[in-house]
Amino acid sequence: MTRETAIAKAESYFDSGAFKADLARLVAMPTESQNPERSDVLTAYVETEMRPLLESLGFTCKTLDHPRAKGPFLYAERMEDPALPTILGYGHGDVIRGLDKDWSEGLSPWTLTEVGDRWYGRGVVDNKGQHIINISALRAVLETRGKLGFNAKYLIEMGEEMGSPGLRELCSEQKGLLKSDVLIGSDGPRLNAERPTVFLGSRGGVTFDLTINARDGGHHSGNWGGLLSDPAIQLAHAISTIASPTGQIRIHEWVPKEIPSSVRKVLADCEVDGGPDGPSIDPEWGEPGLTPAEQVFGWCSFDVLAMKAGNPETPVNAVPPTAWARCQLRFVVGIDPEEVLPALRRHLDRHGFPMVQVSKSRDEIFHATRLDPEDPWVTWSVRSLARTTGKKPAILPNLGGSLPNDIFSEILGLRTIWVPHSYPGCSQHAPNEHLPVAIAREGLAMMAGLYWDLGTGDTPPLSRQA
């Protein structure tokens, strides 16, 4: 009954092929939350897969619903002793659209396919593969020690890819049920494929539309060009006031005053690397004077996700009547999400673009969160991962992307520690989503070691976040 035994049991589960078979079964369920025709599959994932799995580990399960949600929530708990720490786990079983026709030959989003040292399939990293790794590691500890040595709660949602509608309200209403000491979850990518990583929150994200509706219908560019305003030109100039030609944000309310010293300290040890399939970094892009790691994890970024004017598929000789762009701001702690669009409105008006309409493209806004990298629970978790892997884990103050982390940190008052089982080049949200086999196996070992250590009684103090 040792730590090494629990880790070996987790690795044996992987080496036997059982983990691959379990993951393949989950991938085969097309749990596309953005597709209204998949609502029955969302429910089936919770009721036929997650509930029986967690109940087999001694969890008591109940299905929770909320009017705003796109699918059910599964709540599970295993309470061993009220005096022990309570750890909340989280995962989401919904996936982004499969994009079936765009996958490479021989690959399908709904069939787990091994090619070389990778497993391909929708959800292998986002997020089915990640939460099945963690739940399987819990089982390895239980089978070794006969108990966890801590209390465990788990929440599986089925609408994260839609912005987690209903999750905020559910957690506000169920604070007592979900009361825990620490959130330990897995989502998003590692810093790179080789290096175990811990991240402590996420950047916030607000997505919005910029639109100019100049008039009804297009008009012949020969007869009316030079007389009618061109909304595409106007919108291009409006966007050029938001960011410089090298991507530096020009709205002061959209950037932090500074990067905290504790954040700079941990990021000094981090190198952004998407691997051989990742893009090359453009060194002159973004805020001058920042390292690539500081750009992604310590600063804010503005991007134009899509633009349209006229008919791009079949252009005609006409001044277009409208122009549209979907834009996004990723922001860190210190930026008020409720001030993002009002600040943009003032900025556009000052620069002579009152004709540009600004509107949120969806209701949900992810808020920025960040646990202090010097928190003792961070130090403890990193030490556990290093002991298992023999590697120095990277510490990221927050994920570069966005998660509903503020629901856990602000509403439930939890420290949030994320141990991702993916890497930046995994094609998450794109065709050919894949999970490197080595990351899956190492993830099982790391989490078995971490859960074992949680049950030894040698954890940091359990005071809740303020």
* Residue 272 within any structural domain of the chain: no
Examine the domain organization and report whether 214 and 151 are in the same domain: no
Structural domain harbouring 332: 204-256+300-360
Q: What is the CATH number of the domain that holds 343?
A: 3.30.70.360
Examine the domain organization and report whether 41 and 183 are in the same domain: yes
From 325, 360, 395, give the residue that closes a domain.
360
Examine the domain organization and report whether 328 and 393 are in the same domain: no
* Residue 283 within any structural domain of the chain: no
| pLDDT, position 454 | 98
Examine the domain organization and report whether 325 and 384 are in the same domain: no
Mean pLDDT of the chain: 96
Distance separating alpha carbons of residues 459 and 276, to the nearest angstrom: 38
Q: What is the CATH number of the domain that holds 45?
A: 3.40.630.10
Find the angle CA(281)-CA(395)-CA(464) to the nearest 5 degrees: 135
* Residue 262 within any structural domain of the chain: no
451 has a pLDDT exceeding 50 = yes
From 333, 360, 387, give the residue that closes a domain.
360
Q: How many CA atoms lie within 13 A of 6 on its CB side?
A: 28
Examine the domain organization and report whether 168 and 209 are in the same domain: no
466 has a pLDDT exceeding 70 = no
| Per-residue pLDDT reduced to its tens digit, 72-120 | 999 999 999 999 999 999 999 999 999 999 999 999 999 999 999 999 9
The stretch 242-246 carries a mean pLDDT of: 97
Distance separating alpha carbons of residues 337 and 244, to the nearest angstrom: 22
Question: What's the total number of domains in the chain?
Answer: 2
Examine the domain organization and report whether 55 and 110 are in the same domain: yes
From 360, 384, 399, give the residue that closes a domain.
360
* Residue 278 within any structural domain of the chain: no
* Residue 126 within any structural domain of the chain: yes
pTM: 0.91
Distance separating alpha carbons of residues 176 and 153, to the nearest angstrom: 12
Please write down the long-range contacts of 309-318, taking CB distance under 8 Å and 24 or more positions apart.
309/231, 309/232, 309/235, 310/218, 310/232, 316/218, 317/220, 317/221, 317/222, 318/218, 318/219, 318/220, 318/221
Distance separating alpha carbons of residues 112 and 28, to the nearest angstrom: 7
Query: Which has the closest alpha carbon to 332: 380, 362, 369?
Result: 369
Examine the domain organization and report whether 44 and 158 are in the same domain: yes
Examine the domain organization and report whether 140 and 50 are in the same domain: yes
Examine the domain organization and report whether 249 and 386 are in the same domain: no
| pLDDT, position 187 | 97
* Residue 277 within any structural domain of the chain: no
Examine the domain organization and report whether 153 and 213 are in the same domain: no
Name the pLDDT band for 371 (thresholds 50, 70, 90).
very high
54 has a pLDDT exceeding 90 = yes
Examine the domain organization and report whether 181 and 210 are in the same domain: no
The stretch 200-225 carries a mean pLDDT of: 96
Examine the domain organization and report whether 43 and 76 are in the same domain: yes
* Residue 268 within any structural domain of the chain: no
| Per-residue pLDDT reduced to its tens digit, 306-332 | 999 999 999 999 999 999 999 999 999
